[in-house]
Chain A
Amino acid sequence: MSDVQKKKFVVTRFDPDKDEVPKTQEYTIPVRPDWKVLDALNYIKDEVDGTISHRWSCRMAVCGSCGMLVNGEPKLTCSTPLDEYGDEVHVAPLSNFPVIRDLVVDLEGFLDKFKSVKPWIVRAKEKAVEEGPCRQTPEELHAFKQFSMCINCMLCYAACPVVANVPEFLGPAAIALGHRYNLDSRDEGAAERNEVFRGEGTVYECSYANECSEVCPKNVDPAAAINQAKLLAVLDWMKSFVTPRRGGE
């Protein structure tokens, strides 16, 4: 490594058995010019301080494990180049989540919200395998594809000002994924999901800050999903006065 450069990392540490509140710890380490933020954390873990805890796996921005705040912004650390930062880089756990330890946050709340939108195909009668695949035109696929790209990395929850104030808010990823099924030509569960969306703490809580779409590393555009979901939930509600409810019953 001829072009060895050093950087200081200020990492938030928290062990619930020892610490009342989170503290920070500094590490100055050699870095390579092509490193991502995650590479530096892994170097610290392997060579400097084995007690630091963070989640990561694929290091190719698709497993969604390594979301953290880098200099205060929600980032996937495995795809965030270190050279975008100066000599000092702050790494902290994602905001708006309870912290379990160091850089590890609690995802259980999200998983409950996620399940509540029924993120699976709902059909009155399930199609038999023998009938073969459904037809779905490229246009029909395009209608929902973008919203199916969510990797559950939670950056949108960390960025969302509504989640910060109303922790029960269903949140950007869960709404986008529920909406994704509502838009799928193979699905018949929109009525059930729209009922969820019309409940408290869901689509109407959104304040259009658009922060979720700005931090999304996969261009899912959850803000657009929330807007569309809101409109469809209202239309569905109005339609329910005119026509009997479709769906599971």
Chain B
Amino acid sequence: MEVFRHDIVIVGGGGAGLRAAIAAVEADPKASVALVSKVYPMRSHTVSAEGGAAGVAAPDDSLEMHFKDTVKGSDFLADQDCVDYFVEQAPKELTLLEHWGCPWSRDEEGRVAVRAFGGMTAKRTWFAADKVGFHMLHTLFQTSMRYDRIVRYDEQFVTKLLVDGGVVKGVAALDVREGTMRAILGRAVILATGGAGKCFPFTTNGTIKTGDGMALAYRAGIALKDMEFVQYHPTGLPGTGILITEASRGEGGHVINAQGERFLVTRDYGVGQKAELGPRDMISRAIMQEIAAGRGIKGPYGDYVHLDLRHLGEAKIMERLPFVRTLSKTYAGVDPVSEPIPIRPVVHYMMGGIDTNIDGATALPGLYAAGETACVSMNGANRLGSNSLTECLVFGARAGIRAIEFARGASVGSEAPLLAQAQEEATRIEDLRGRRKGGEKIAQIRREMQKTMEEGCGVYREQASMHESVRVMAQLRGRVSDLQLEDASKVFNTEILTALELANMVDVAEAIAVAAAARRESRGAHACSDYKARNDQEFLHHSLVTFTPGGPHLDRKPVTITRFQPEERKY
């Protein structure tokens, strides 16, 4: 087996992973960093983010306002020390990106422009038209090329964390191109693999978002935190789930029903004066209620409502939202200049993730996590739009610095037990290749998982359907070990990847369902039909799901509240 040795190993080459890599090599001039990704970094899903990245910039704004908006948006489940650190670092990180060449949109004087976003009381979202994730990712990737000490392992799929003596010391990875396993060793590991939207049938997420890092940590015994909080973005295209950015509403777009009524203004959905600029959980619920009341529009992929940008005019749409126009034309057949865009809520983001502290450190010494795959936690029960791109920078950088500090003080120890584990992993993967004896098709299990998760853990959830999701996921976890694979070849065998991704998703989906069923209240994105009110007495805590051979184990963890006491969340 090939063995590679570095100081730290970063898994994932999106916004958080690239930022962590750059931070690590800048913090330690001798650091050698492995950047392992199952795709070329510029394909990472950060690329699909559209609307912007939040950080206080305007004179009428303040860190305290950003803090309060974020905590309130989280329905008071965010750890307030993390939010404080986040809002303070946000402008610095966005400035760094500016120095690295990110083409931020500007005002006439050449200052960075900011736009309005949902749940934010001031304009503080930095943007590069409506391709912010794309520009941030490419800026980070291109900047990372400056550093020869960032050694990329592109198209390599990590299948296991290598742990010895209670400390993580590397990863086992499948080189997709060669079809061989390798050990990539380091004295600290950062997981930055993004979200898990593909656990659901209808999502803005790309096909690569299969919860890999969450599953890696979960199987190594690390708890997943607050997994029940799945964000539905209010405005996805029916059928494909393609994201139509919240910036559409930030720039003045209206959400209207079949009768052309702006129901966020005319009816009481809790968003008050904010109307279309309310937080995502509330707007998604409002749309689902309009559809349930028969005020949606019928379509081949289910009922939907409209996002109307016509009054913005062609010039503004072309300056601020050109990508939205292209996406609408290409994937919905409508030109938003002259027609409203069909939209409905769609799975977008996991508030939950690997349980870490403010440094991104997990309970396993040497293991760190950052970005969507982590739960530090700053998003609580509902993330505000445009906070997550900045989160990748702020906590990616912090994890990178902390991981290299940890690596400096850690000893390598004996490699033998690590290589033995990697060898075992190689045997497991080899057994899977072209495994004809199995009885289950990948696509069939994936469909069952996605359908069950949508029915059980959707915008609105019921106890009965959540428990049904728990039951089905436990069953699918067994069935996933009986997969039938057709492709016995070694070189670029994508079928084996898909099988491994499916196993990851089933684990993550089960954690989501278990955590959801246990939270008998409604908070943020978790809207439980049987328990409609928030219940701070019993549930003002994080939930933790830990893997055990007998099934998931549930636990809880206190929320850090520093100065903003929970109050009724009204806008």
Contact = CB atoms under 8 A, between A and B. Distances in A.
Interface of A: 15-18, 34, 45-47, 49-51, 53-65, 79, 100-102, 104, 107, 111, 114-115, 118-121, 126-127, 129, 132-138, 140-141, 144-145, 148-149, 151-152, 177, 181, 184, 186-187
Contact of A129 (B44, B92, B112, B493): B92
A120 B491 contact: no
Interface stretch (B74-82, B100-108, B211-219, B503-511): B100-108
Contacts of B486: 49-51
Most buried by A among B101, B103, B208, B495: B101
Contacts of A15: 489, 491
Most buried by B among A102, A138, A140, A177: A138
Interface in B96-123: 96, 98-101, 103-112
A120 B100 contact: yes
B85 interface: no
A46 B108 contact: no
A17 B131 contact: no
A25 B262 CA distance: 52
Given A119-B145, A141-B105, A107 B40 contact: yes
Contacts of A49: 486
A12 to B, nearest CB: 14
Interface stretch (B239-247, B267-275, B377-385, B530-538): B239-247
B414 interface: no
A78 to B, nearest CB: 9
A58 B489 contact: no
Nearest to B179: A17
A57 B45 contact: yes
29 contacts: A17-B491, A34-B333, A46-B443, A47-B443, A51-B487, A51-B495, A53-B495, A57-B39, A57-B43, A57-B208, A58-B47, A58-B48, A60-B242, A60-B243, A61-B330, A63-B44, A79-B331, A101-B489, A107-B40, A121-B143, A126-B99, A127-B99, A133-B95, A133-B104, A136-B106, A136-B110, A137-B110, A149-B131, A151-B42
A43 B47 CA distance: 25
Contacts of B143: 120-121
A133 B110 CA distance: 10
B207 A59 contact: yes
Given A60-B243, A137-B110, 5 more contacts: A57-B39, A58-B206, A64-B47, A137-B109, A186-B99
B48 to A, nearest CB: 5
Contacts of A107: 40
A148 B443 contact: no
B131 A62 contact: yes
Contacts of A17: 489-491
A54 B494 contact: yes
A194 B206 CA distance: 37
B485 A50 contact: yes
Given A50-B487, A57-B39, A102-B492, A135 B110 contact: yes
A137 B99 CA distance: 15
Contact of B442 (A46, A57, A144, A151): A46
A34 B42 CA distance: 28
Contact of B492 (A57, A64, A104, A184): A104
B138 interface: yes
Given A50-B486, A58-B47, A133 B492 contact: no
B463 interface: no
A111 B155 CA distance: 14
A148 B330 contact: no
A132 B112 CA distance: 10
B99 A134 contact: yes
B207 A57 contact: yes
Nearest to B333: A34
B134 A151 contact: yes
A86 B142 CA distance: 40
Contacts of B540: none
Given A101-B491, A121-B101, A129-B99, A34 B39 contact: no
In this complex, the interface size class of chain B, counting residues with CB under 8 Å from chain A, is: 35 or more
Contact of B101 (A51, A53, A184): A184
Interface in B22-46: 39-40, 42-45
Contact of A79 (B106, B330, B442): B330
A133 B98 contact: yes
Given A120-B145, A148-B135, A187-B101, A53 B207 contact: no
Interface in B454-468: none
B327 interface: yes
Given A59-B207, A63-B47, A138 B106 contact: yes
Contacts of A58: 43, 45, 47-48, 206
Interface in B322-340: 323, 326-327, 330-331, 333
A49 B2 CA distance: 32
Contacts of A54: 494
Most buried by B among A16, A57, A138, A152: A57
Contacts of A126: 99
Contacts of A63: 42-45, 47-48, 206
Interface in B142-165: 142-143, 145-146
B96 A50 contact: no
A59 B206 contact: yes
A102 B333 CA distance: 32
A50 B82 CA distance: 45
Nearest to B126: A133
Nearest to A187: B101
Most buried by B among A119, A126, A184: A119
B241 to A, nearest CB: 9
Contacts of B111: 133, 135
B327 A60 contact: yes
A101 B330 CA distance: 29
A55 B333 CA distance: 25
A199 B128 CA distance: 33
Nearest to B209: A57
Given A58-B206, A59-B242, A62-B134, A51 B489 contact: yes
Contacts of B240: 59-60
Contacts of B333: 34
B442 A50 contact: yes
Contacts of A118: 146
Contacts of A59: 206-207, 240, 242
Nearest to B237: A60
